Structure 1
Amino acid sequence: MMRFPRLTFTLIAVLLAASGALRIGFGVGTALARAPEEAEVASPAECPAPPVALAQALSDREARLSQREDALEERLAALDLAEAAIETRLQELRQAEADLDRVVTLSDGAAEQDLTRLTAVYEAMKPADTARLLSAMPVEFAAGFLGRMRPEAAAAALAGMEPDTAFAITALIAGRNALAPTE
């Protein structure tokens, strides 16, 4: 039973294909009958000249494109110059930064040496003289020196100070790292 519908569809498809082929065959014959015996093919040399307006428009467009191309080349050259200037400036800035780092390092080292030497001088003085000098300084400044001194020399200097001054300096030294992170 299944073969009958398939056979029908196949037969219809063959008939449609044959009908199309016949129509094409008749059309080819008619076309060949109407065609001239020798077809003339135009060579490229025989192309007619373009209209003057079209030639002028194409010439104008080519001139505009040439101007734009020249302008773009000038802009690219200017950008190359700017890029080279920026790179030179960056190199100069890097060198200046390195020089500044060296100067800061030297300055910090010299300042540290000065403080170390001055701390050693205060430690070598008599405790009463050290206490008198440190008491005359602002509390923050005196606390900095006492914090750098050996504990024995700092204790002797604190013992020779007025109790209020000694307390203020001690409180400042004790609290200066209170806000430092613990972890």
Structure 2
Amino acid sequence: MKPPAARPPRRPWRPGRTILPLIAGTFAVAAVMRIGDGVGLALALDAGTGGAATTCPDPAANAALLRALEDRDQKLSLREGIIADRAQALRLAEQRIDERLATLIAAENALSKTVAVADSGADADVARLVTVYENMKPKEAAPLFETMAPEFAAGFLGKMRPEAAAAVLANLTPEVGYSISVIMAGRNAGAPRR
């Protein structure tokens, strides 16, 4: 067997030798990319038109389109103005309604106070009259109750002490006493029960 052939010794690495081919390669790749970029754009444009040549639109058509857009813009501006006017009118109407509502609430509160005063005064007057009828002799009060409407008389008798009301009822004619008793008995007939 022959001894293996000796390899020639390696040359030492030097930086200048490998950088120059690397820079040249980078320039070559950049050139290919620039050419490819233009080709890709051309292919994309060609694919988008279906291979047909594209032409610029007619200037008259552009002018007509521009006029149509300007007309539409004017109409939209007019509508915006109308809507703004309506919104302002609605705000004013809401403000007036709120003011009137506040006025009505104040009037209702004042009326409630007046009604409360009147009711308390009327209740005091009725209580005083009930006391007067209770203190009258039953024979003197009976003719008064006979001339009253039965509903009215039933109201007074319902507020009187039971013994005073019984004495007045005993001195009424049977027909009037019966009608007043029916009204008093039926007054709470429609009230809900437990």
TM-score (norm 1): 0.66
Letter of the structure 2 residue corresponding to residue 62 of structure 1:
D
Q: CA deviation at 1:131?
A: 1.2
Equivalent position SS for 2:193: coil
CA separation of 1:167/1:61 partners in 2, compared to 1, >3 Å: closer, same or farther? closer
Letter in 2 for 1:114: D
Residues 158 and 56 from structure 1, CA distance in 2 versus in 1: closer, same or farther, beyond 3 angstroms? Answer: closer
2:86 — aligned with what? 75
Give the letter for the 1:167 counterpart. Y
Using the size of structure 2 for normalisation, the TM-score is: 0.62
1:96 pairs, out of 85, 95, 107, with 107
Report matched runs for 1:25-44 at 5 Å.
32=35
Question: CA 1:72–1:122 in structure 2 vs 1: closer, same or farther (change >3 Å)?
Answer: same
Output aligned runs, 1:1-183, within 5 Å: 32=35, 51-183=62-194
1:66-94 deviations in Å (ceiling 9; x for gaps): 22222222121111111111211221222
Shift of residue 182 of structure 1? 0.9
Q: Secondary structure at the match of 1:166?
A: helix
Gaps of 5+ in 2: 1-31, 40-58
Identity %: 47
The residue type equivalent to 1:160 in the other structure is: N
Separation of aligned partners in 1, 2:174 and 2:119: 34
Q: How many residues align?
A: 140
**1:180 is paired with a residue of what secondary structure?**
coil
1:12 aligned partner: none
Go from structure 1 to structure 2 and tell me whether the alpha carbon gap of 1:66 and 1:156 turns closer, same or farther (over 3 Å shift).
same
Give how far 1:148 is off: 0.8
CA distance in 1, matches of 2:174, 2:106: 53
Query: For the aligned residues, what is the CA RMSD?
Result: 2.5
Shift of 1:53: 3.6
The structure number with the bigger radius of gyration is 2
Q: Which amino acid is the alignment partner of residue 154 of structure 2?
A: A
Higher mean C-alpha displacement, 148-157 vs 93-102: 93-102
CA separation in 2, counterparts of 1:179 and 1:138? 22
